[in-house]
Structures are given as structure tokens and as C-alpha cells.
Amino acid sequence: MSATATPVNELLQQLADSLDALAALQQQELKAIVERQHSSVADIAQQKAQQLEQVSSLDATLREHPDANLLKDDDALAAQVTEIKRQLADVQQQSAVNERVVQSTLNSIEQLKQAILSNAKKDSLTYNAKGKIR
């Protein structure tokens, strides 16, 4: 192992911690969406992007690590990898839920917009000299 490389187990812990932070952000995002706190949603999305970048960076560091073979050969590290994969699956599932909630919210907004526009058109009807709708 290189003297300057971070130990694999520390990188795995950092990755697990990053996934935990990402999961917490997703819960905050869902709450903000449901409570229609739009400015919070934008802030959380930015934080999520940063956290995803960190997860990606840690993943790349682990793949290129001189001791990457230990991830499969060492039983304790292999168990950590399995747990991280479970965390990742949970994060992906929550992401799909959040996406469905956002899509549903956007559909509701579009329906409201159409109803408002429809009512506005009814209010702007014009009449001819005989009182007939044009």
C-alpha cells in the first residue's frame, strides 16, 4: 500500500457517510416539495449535486486505489461494500419517489394553470351590438 494513499476502509466509511448525507438531503427535499418550500428545494438540489459529486469522487478513488483488490478479498471490507451497495439502492429508490412527487406536483400546477386560463377566457368574452357573444 502506498504511504500517501488513504486506507481503503477509511474511504469506504467516507463513502457510507456521504450516502447517509445524501439520503438525509433527499428526505429534506421531499419534505420541502410537499410543503411547497420552493426556495428550499433549489438549495437542497444544489447540496445534493455537491454530495453526488463527492460520492462519485470517492467511488473513483476506491476503484483506482492500490489496495482495491481487498474490497473483494477481505471479508470485513466486502461486507462494507455490500452495505454501501444497499445504501446506494435505498438512495436510488428515494430519488425515484422524489421524482414522482415532483412530477405529480408539476402536473397539478399545470392543471391549475389550465383552469385559471380557461376561466380568464370566459371573463374576456366580447359581445356584438345585439348582445351576442363574438
In a domain, residue 3? The reply is no
In a domain, residue 26? The reply is yes
- What are 65-78's pLDDT values in tens digits? 999 999 999 999 99
Number of structural domains (the chain) is 1
In a domain, residue 128? The reply is no
In a domain, residue 56? The reply is yes
In a domain, residue 133? The reply is no
- What are 9-45's pLDDT values in tens digits? 999 999 999 999 999 999 999 999 989 888 899 999 9
pLDDT of residue 122: 67
At 133 the three-state DSSP class reads strand
Domain that holds residue 45: 8-123
CB 112 within 8 A of CB 104: no
30 exposure class (CB count in 10 Å sphere: 0-12, 13-18, 19+): middle
In a domain, residue 129? The reply is no
Per-residue pLDDT, averaged over 79-92, amounts to 96
In a domain, residue 97? The reply is yes
